[in-house]
Amino acid sequence: MNNPENQSVEELLEKLKVDSKKGLTEEEVLKRRLEFGENVIPSAKKRTTWDIFISQFRNVIVLLLVVAAAVSFFFGDFFEAIAIIAVILINAIIGFILESQANKSMDALKELEQPNSKVIRNATLTHTPIQDLVPGDLISFEAGDLIGADARLIEVNSLEINEAPLTGESLPSSKKTERIEEKVTIGDRTNMVFRGTSVTRGNGLAVIVFTGKDTEIGHVSSMMDEAQAEELPLNKKLDKFSKTLIWLSFVIMIPFIGIGLLQSKELYLLIETSIALVVAAIPEGLPIVATIALASGMLRLSKKKVLVRKLAAVETLGGTNIILTDKTGTLTENQLEVVETSPERNDTNSYDKLIEIMVLCNNAALSQENKHIGDPVEIALLLWAEKVSSGSVKQLRGQWAETKEIPFESETRIMTTFHQAGKTTQASMKGSTAEVLKNCKYYEQDGLIIELDEKAKSYWAEQTKLLSAKGLKVLAGAYQILEQSSLDKAEELILVGIVGLQDPARPDVFEAISECHNAGIQVIMVTGDHPETSRAIAENIGIFKGGQNLVVQGKDLTFGENENSELLSASVFSRVSPEQKLKLVEYYQSRGFVVAMTGDGVNDAPALKKADIGVAMGLRGTEVAKEAADMILQDDSFSSIVIAIKQGRIIFNNIRNFVIYLLSCNLSEILVVSFAAFLSWGSPLLPLQILFLNIVTDVFPALALGMGQSNRESLLEKPRTINEPLLTKAHWKSLVVYSMIMTISVLGVFYYSSKVIGLEEFQTNNVAFFTLAFAQLFHPFNLIKRGENLFTNGIIRNPHLWASIIFCSILLIVASLFSPFKTLLALNFPSEDMWLLIVGGSLIPIPLIYFFKILRIID
């Protein structure tokens, strides 16, 4: 079935072989269900428990650790192998538990109820589950009903549909049955209703033309499947980083064995030492520390009503430099309200009369549970009346009894009601200012009734234009007290005034967008709404900056060779289709931006999945949007995104700090072992001692660095580029200097204890081990940035760091005093002379590194 909106009702019914009064027979329904299938949207394949667990091992560093464990088993170093496997399993279990909990929270958000549709079959109106609908079914609906499939309208009575989940428009769409001649977008298919939308006013009858995957929502779902989820930037950086470590391991091991063979050393000893070097090259603690650092951020965000479905997504938000955001329900309240009126409230008589008109000429109903019934515009008018005077709606409707209604029609654009109070009959009219003016002979001003001349008409037209320019929906109100001889005719009405309604911005949005701009993040509105409305909201919440206020419409969007030159400078895109949202995400990603996409509607889902970070709304968001997202805002607050961005930046800085810490510690171990071996000085470190340093004493300070909180200034820095590596050249330079200084210090005390004071071999080994261990425990203080206050910086103020230093110091002492640790690690508690060497050697790097920073050799 192609373009049903371009076909007449008669043509369509004939093609679908259905009677417009009787509907389909049960026999025909069964045939069509076999042909077209159930009316269900294929859902994305759910991640099983096993998938989540296995995904924890899809990490290059974890694979390196597996290889290291296998090699250790092969050479009989069983304790070493078991220790490495324990590290792998602990990391996997932590990640598995947290991601599983996020998935369970997602399941809890899902709505389990399957709604019904009213269907005419065999000339009988029945209630049928939505999944049982088939093409050709006649469906009947009224205010409050959900539409179960895409259908062509046959009959309408003042029908209005809320299509926000599909188009993003906050105002309901008026519907009609007439055939549409030209090809139009979804939002302009006024003779169609779509699955997932809801009836806000009136009633109608329609014939189903598309079900399941063939509906508009089904197409969006298919686009989601085609939109490959972008790998998180942090995962890309860690994988690239890990591959560098693999090459580094080979670069270290192969020359070491080659030189050793030339020196006629035993092959077994060379291989054992090479394993020690490989173990030193791999930061075994990195997966655990990275997982826990991300998990701590994830838990902190959960307290702020932000549900993160993937650990690494927390950090990716920190690198975001563009946020593409939907308007309705994300930046705005998705609830219309009266924001301006003419006359204003100080003109009591006319103002009160305007309220009376808008209450009487109104079919909506308010409820105490905020589950109001009716058209959103009419609900907003009643809420306005109640805000001005509580109980006024009940009082006015009790005073005036409705006798007749001329419903709103899209052609006339006005609604008229007739009410009686005692012997007085009043006609009340509301609608488009231009159409209301055509029915008015007078207007009211300061309690006076004045003839409506051309000058007055121009005045009210200009007032309407001013409000419309602000993005407001404008309605005019008029009345007439009728004579007994013409109780059903209103031809000489008195114009009282106009009201301007708007879906207001959320109260915290302006500040949140300002913070985004200060943090170097561009916020771009992408909506299906009208350009004037979009521009007004954008101006109100501060999206435009630098004096530009460019709004690009969907019909003007071009990509590829004929690319629109204004794309990069635009801050608002209006009347945009789901396909165009997806292309915008791809466009910015191709330009090197890290893109976050926020939204709540079905129309947002493909772009949410494709974006580097998809952020869905938890309260108003559709299930399709939530499934596509990496992160869900459970309070629907845009400002929560800013909180998440701050947390992401903190986490990335922390990850960078502990990677520098771990690698500089590991490199110092490599250099100590390598230089000692080349110089034939013996073994300052044994393989199991290196492993102990890597997975015990190194991990806890690194973990403490991962739990740190950055200063406010770091949040105002420009976001890093997507191509910026985890460690820049400046970081590598600092890392090498840190390692060299620690190496020189350790080898210095090792040489002094062996060659000068003549300690035994196991004692010199212990001196080197403890010197390096404590130098590494003190090493976090070397990471204080040049220019930061030595006593008030984030590292000094990190209580976790001080606790980790004390804890690891105790572990080192325990390992030297008690079996089996002292036996396995070949350790003894050092003598007093040895402690002097250890303490001196471990503290020397701190002033030396600080001196290098003063000279600006390193950062």
Q: 727: how many CB neighbours lie within 10 A of its CB?
A: 18
The confidence score (pLDDT) of residue 562 equals: 67
Q: For residue 281, name the pLDDT band (cuts at 50, 70, 90).
A: low
The confidence score (pLDDT) of residue 13 equals: 92
Average pLDDT, the chain: 83
Cα Rg of the chain, angstroms: 36
Q: For residue 201, what are the β-bridge partners? A: 160
**Dihedral over Cα of 562, 567, 573, 577: its sign:** positive
* pLDDT at position 111 over 50: no
The confidence score (pLDDT) of residue 112 equals: 35
* pLDDT at position 710 over 70: no
* pLDDT at position 372 over 70: yes
What DSSP character marks residue 25? -
d(Cα 80, Cα 165) in Å, to the nearest integer? 57
Q: Which residue has the tokens 């307290």?
A: 303
Q: What is the 3 state secondary structure string of 39-69? A: CCCCCCCCCCHHHHHHHCCCCHHHHHHHHHH
Q: Which residue has the tokens 């840190």?
A: 738
**Between residues 471 and 223, which one has the greater pLDDT?**
471
* pLDDT at position 836 over 80: yes
Residue 329 gets the label, from left (phi > 0), alpha (psi -120 to 50) or beta, of left
* pLDDT at position 696 over 90: no
* pLDDT at position 843 over 80: yes
Stretch among 254-263, 280-289, 296-305 having the lowest mean pLDDT: 280-289
The confidence score (pLDDT) of residue 106 equals: 46
Which two tokens mark 523?
A: 């916020």
The confidence score (pLDDT) of residue 442 equals: 94
Angle between helices 832-843 and 845-854 (to 10 degrees): 10
Secondary structure (DSSP) of 716-740: GSPPPPTT--SS-HHHHHHHHHHHH
Residue 450's alpha-carbon distances to 21, 431, 447, 824, in angstroms, are: 52, 21, 10, 103
Catalytic residue among 326, 347, 375, 630: 326
For 481-519, how does the pLDDT look when each residue is reduced to its tens digit (9 = 90+)?
Answer: 987 656 667 778 999 999 999 888 888 899 989 988 888
Strand positions, DSSP E, 213-334: 306-308, 322-325
Share of the chain above pLDDT 70, in %: 86
Residue 288's alpha-carbon distances to 283, 293, 727, in angstroms, are: 10, 8, 19
The confidence score (pLDDT) of residue 652 equals: 81
**Quick one: which H or E segment has residue 158?**
strand 150-162
Mean pLDDT of 466-482: 90
For 378-416, how does the pLDDT look when each residue is reduced to its tens digit (9 = 90+)?
Answer: 999 999 999 999 999 999 999 999 988 888 776 778 999
Q: For residue 585, what are the β-bridge partners? A: none
d(Cα 601, Cα 607) in Å, to the nearest integer? 11
Mean pLDDT of 45-54: 74
Q: Are 501 and 472 in contact (CB under 8 A)?
A: yes
The confidence score (pLDDT) of residue 816 equals: 92
**Between residues 44 and 664, which one has the greater pLDDT?**
664
The confidence score (pLDDT) of residue 110 equals: 44
The confidence score (pLDDT) of residue 691 equals: 76
Q: 583: how many CB neighbours lie within 10 A of its CB?
A: 19
Active site residue 326: yes
**End-to-end CA, the chain:** 67
Give the long-range contacts of residues 844-850, CB within 8 A, separation 24 or more. Answer: 844/741, 844/745, 845/738, 845/741, 845/742, 845/745, 845/775, 845/778, 845/779, 845/782, 846/778, 846/781, 846/782, 848/741, 849/737, 849/738, 849/741, 849/782, 850/782
Which two tokens mark 751?
A: 């040489």
Which two tokens mark 57?
A: 């091992």
For 223-233, how does the pLDDT look when each residue is reduced to its tens digit (9 = 90+)?
Answer: 655 555 555 55
Angle between helices 832-843 and 729-751 (to 10 degrees): 160
Stretch among 85-89, 237-241, 428-432 having the lowest mean pLDDT: 237-241
The confidence score (pLDDT) of residue 715 equals: 56
Share of the chain above pLDDT 90, in %: 33
Q: ∠ at Cα 358 (353, 361), nearest 5°?
A: 115
For 195-210, how does the pLDDT look when each residue is reduced to its tens digit (9 = 90+)?
Answer: 988 888 788 999 999 9
Q: 367: how many CB neighbours lie within 10 A of its CB?
A: 8
Q: Are 205 and 154 in contact (CB under 8 A)?
A: yes
Which two tokens mark 458?
A: 């121009």
